[in-house]
Structure 1
Amino acid sequence: MSSLSIEELTAAIQSGAIDTVVVAMTDMQGRLTGKRIHGDHFLNEVLKHGTEGCNYLLAVDVDMNTVQGYEMSSWERGYSDFELAPDFNTLRLIPWQEGAALVLADVQWLDHTPVVASPRQILRKQIANLEKAGMQAMCGTELEFVVYKDTYEEAWDKAYRDLTPVNQYNVDYSILGGSRIEPLLREIRLGMSAAGMTVESVKGECNLGQHEIAFKYSDALSNCDQHVIYKNGAKEIAAEAGYALTFMAKPNEREGNSSHIHLSFRGLNGELVMTDDSDKEHGMSELGRQFIAGQLTHMRELSLLFAPNINSYKRYVPGSFAPTAIRWGRDNRTCAFRLVGHGAGLRLENRIPGGDVNPYLAVAGIIAAGLDGINKKMKLEPAFTGNAYVSDSARVPSTMNEALDLWEKSAWVKETFGDEVQAHYANMARVEISAYAKAVTDWELFRNFERF
């Protein structure tokens, strides 16, 4: 559902209540990029024709440096434009910015064909494949973040060292711990609610200054849209209040920031295709078992979609509540996949992604793996009981190099996502790995400066 109609937007611009419309796409890193457009110009031009952006927006590193290796965008190809085509189902107010509205855009070439390596288009393709099979995906993402009393500028100037977390001890589920930062958490919750999201709850987490705000599940596309809007908006609200907030997967040696993804398939009319009351053990249908079997089969070759940065892989520490074992279990947080809920609430939680995940890519991977499990009628192994950390299970890749190798050599990835997408995100990983290999870290300085 749109929280703002075109008619409402037009009236608000004409009255002066809204003067700015943000048109944004999601880049490879899951960030919003785009333009702030004056309200009258939006009504007169962009509403009808969209707007343009340089195609390097899907071919740069995290620092916005142009890099080699992307087929779709290069100096040789002239870094031409592509079109940002607004999806008016996403139109909403930005309550935390005066006079502003936001609309997310699909990315297409100037001849109106889709840019297939765009994260939103990758998810759209998998949603369409699932719809052809008579199903839809419902999902919810759970983003954790750490808040510091320093501003973003102060954190930068300190080289991100010696920052002061808003809580200085573990406040997991602590009401008192949440109260210490409730004014900021409340501003974020109310802002997101006014932007059309259904807020469920907020709770403290294990790391110092770590919290999580949860939102109600919805269809896969709208939930990923809400994820990127919330992530961007939470940072904007925090910055305005004088805090720095990070979703970085592993900001320090304590517990990392996760982004658990809960997902289930339903029929096109909401039928509960993954449940079966006659299954006394888990209440799960054979289709549901095939869905989970697909996740287990394809998790390793999809790990690049769940863990897109060098830092992502540092979360996977035994006993940290981040998974290392590729197993599934009934309400077992030591497994990579956790089956929770009953009946209409039955769903699989993928515990692999961190807070740095691009939700469109991760959810596309989950849908594709589940659909393959169903199409091939894969058999599901028994639920794991006990501590999966100490099991002899297959493991979540421990490095980005390993994840890249699995992604790049996978015939199934090529068949499912296409040559262009496989090559595009392999190059993204190579760029990240190359940049890291050249960096001199604090660890190296302390270990080597005086001793060698």
Structure 2
Amino acid sequence: MLDGTPWSSCPRVFARSAVEAFTAETGLEVAASFEHEFMLDDLPTSAPFSWQRFRDAEPFGSELVELLQLNGFGPETWLPEYGEDQFEITIEPTTAVLAADRAVLLKELVRDLARRHGHRATFAPLLDPDGSGNGVHIHLSLRDATTGEPVLHDPSQPSGLSELGRKFAAGVLTHARAISALTAPSASSFLRLLPHRWSTGGIFLAERNREALLRICPTAPDGDTAARQYNLEFRAGDATANPWLAIGALIRAGLHGITEDYPAPTIWPEDASEEDLEGVEPLPRDLPEALEALEKDDVVTRWLDRDMLATFLAIKRAELDQTRDLDLAALCRRIADVH
């Protein structure tokens, strides 16, 4: 507000309040990083993950890494991805609100640099309903707010996930259907969140399994740093989400899992089969179902300011009305024009 007081309908205030509540209740802080995928147009056809695609994107790629370094983002990886013309950029983890700040700025830096090179960059969930999509994977770890020591990893526990980490994960899993309305909030988002789409195939926690809603990420074989590398990856997000709403909701859900002592979830192995996962709860089929799940979840709606929630729902339903008569291909193009 103009007098310096926080505005309750501000998404960044929502994220900051979630962080403050988490630390006050647990004595811990959340470290986070947003992993972005995007498409860059007008490139020659090249193989996924190939050195040739690296070369085809020059000098854009080298300049992007340098730009992020100069702005203090700490870029960690820049690589060609699986989809056609698709790339991924990751930046170093930091405090949760700063990670969300960087997620907002990174998209603008990428788009601006692409324009200066005669390209168009899009972070849209899908450009083609039958094609590969772009996600935003949110990596989360927990550490002692005083000492900075990591607390998510415990080698004596199943899959190395500490008891507190399992409770945090349980909160996210329990409220995932409602949270998905905030993390994947476009009319095309849920076309991507399906099995066999290199995205989220169901609401479950697993080791390294890329179709898990929450994935325990692999660590490099270094016992001295394993605890600091160890993190959970939330995979049901995309760049149509507001990063502050997304990170705030995940932190609130994790805190609720801890304070309410939710039962520990099953940790599925990486090679769990479709038959093994047959009873796993699915994500909503589409945005209307996700919005309904959000409205019905009394826990999640209590976290959100009443006016902010009402505004969010009204905007999303207006977007659905604007795209209701489009076929899937036209729908994906319309969303891509914005993102």
CA contact (8 A) 2:48 2:80 kept: yes
Counterpart position of 2:149: 271
2:71 is matched with which residue?
Answer: 195
Q: CA deviation at 1:276?
A: 2.1
Question: How far, CA to CA, are the matches of 2:77 and 2:304 in structure 1?
Answer: 35
Q: CA deviation at 1:411?
A: 0.9
Against the structure 1 CA distance between its residues 440 and 377, is the aligned structure 2 distance closer, same or farther, given a 3 Å change threshold?
closer
Asked if 1 retains the 8 angstrom alpha-carbon contact of 2:175 and 2:297, the reply is no
User: Matched residues in 2 for 1:439 and 1:202: separation?
Assistant: 35
Which residue matches 1:120?
Answer: 12
Q: Residues 181 and 272 from structure 1, CA distance in 2 versus in 1: closer, same or farther, beyond 3 angstroms?
A: same
What are the Cα deviations for residues 77-110 of structure 1, in whole angstroms up to 9, with x where unaligned?
Answer: xxxxxxxxxxxxxxxxxxxxxxxxxxxxxxx2x3
Q: 1:249–1:315: 8 Å Cα contact kept in structure 2?
A: yes
- Aligned partners of 1:315 and 1:351: how far apart in 2? 11
Partner of 1:259 in structure 2? 136
Q: After TM superposition, give the deviation of residue 226 of structure 1 in Å.
A: 1.2
Which residue of the other structure, out of 289, 293, 299, is the alignment partner of 2:170?
293
Matched residues in 1 for 2:319 and 2:170: separation?
31
Q: Which of 95, 100, 103 pairs up with 1:227?
A: 103
Partner of 2:240: 356
Shift of 1:381: 2.3
Please list the CA deviations of residues 209-265 of structure 1 after superposition, one character each: whole Å capped at 9, or x if unmatched: 101111111111111111111110110011011001100011112110011110022
Given residue 299 of structure 1, which amino acid in structure 2 is its aligned partner? A
Equivalent residue runs for 1:7-156 within 5 Å? 108=1, 110-133=2-25, 134-149=27-42
**Alpha-carbon separation, structure 1, partners of 2:48 and 2:213:** 24
How far did residue 443 of structure 1 move?
6.3
Give the letter aligned to residue 168 of structure 1.
Answer: T
Correspondence for 1:426: 313
- The answer to whether structure 1 residue 282 and structure 2 residue 169 are counterparts is no
**Cα distance change on mapping 1:346 and 1:377 into 2, 3 Å:** same
Unaligned runs of 5+ in 1: 1-107, 150-165, 445-452
- Separation in 2 of the partners of 1:300 and 1:167? 39
CA distance in 1, matches of 2:263, 2:316: 32
Q: Is the 8 A contact 2:184 2:238 kept in 1?
A: yes
One-letter code aligned to 1:273: V
The separation in 2 between residues aligned to 1:262 and 1:121, in whole angstroms, is 21
CA distance in 2, matches of 1:135, 1:213: 28
Does structure 2 conserve the Cα–Cα contact (< 8 Å) formed by 1:407 and 1:422? no
* Code of the aligned partner of 2:139: H
Runs of 4+ in structure 1 displaced over 6 angstroms?
Answer: 440-444
Deviations 1:280-331 (A, max 9, x none): x322221111011111101011111111110111112321111121011011
Code of the residue aligned with 2:40 in structure 1: it is V
Could you tell me how far apart the structure 2 residues matched to 1:442 and 1:396 are?
22
Pairs within 5 Å for 1:410-449: 410-437=297-324, 439=326
Q: Which structure has greater strand proportion?
A: 1
Which stretch of structure 1 is more off in the superposition, 261-270 or 370-379? 261-270
CA deviation vs aligned residue, 1:113-162 (integer Å, no higher than 9, x gap): 3222222111111011112121111001110010012xxxxxxxxxxxxx
Pair 257,271 (structure 1): closer, same or farther in 2 beyond 3 Å: same
The reply on whether 1:244 has 2:108 as its aligned counterpart is no
Instruction: List per-residue Cα deviations over 1:357-404 (Å, max 9, x = no partner).
Output: 221111111101100000011112221231359622111112110011
> TM-score with structure 1 length normalisation?
0.67
In the alignment, residue 378 of structure 1 is paired with which amino acid?
Y
CA distance in 2, matches of 1:192, 1:309: 27
In 1, distance between residues paired with 2:94 and 2:199?
Answer: 25
Deviations 1:153-198 (A, max 9, x none): xxxxxxxxxxxxx2424422x1222111131111111111111111
Q: Which of 307, 320, 332 is matched with 2:184 structurally?
A: 307
**Cα distance in 2 for residues equivalent to 1:114 and 1:186:** 39
Secondary structure (helix, strand or coil) at the match of 2:246 reads helix
* 2:8 maps to amino acid: V
Name which of 273, 278, 283 aligns with 1:387.
Answer: 273
* Equivalent position amino acid for 2:105 in 1: I
- How many Å separate the matches in 1 of 2:118 and 2:111? 10
2:58 paired with 1:171:
no
Q: Report if aligned partners of 2:169, 2:265 keep a CA contact under 8 Å in 1.
A: no
Matched, 1:323 2:200: yes
Task: Output the amino acid matched with 2:56.
Answer: R
Check the 8 A contact 2:175/2:300 in 1, yes or no: no
Q: 1:354 to 1:443 in 2, by over 3 A?
A: closer
The one-letter amino acid of 2:189's match is S
Q: Which residue of 1 aligns with 2:261?
A: 377
Q: TM-score, normalised by structure 2?
A: 0.89
> Could you tell me the percent identity over the aligned residues?
28
Aligned pairs, number: 318
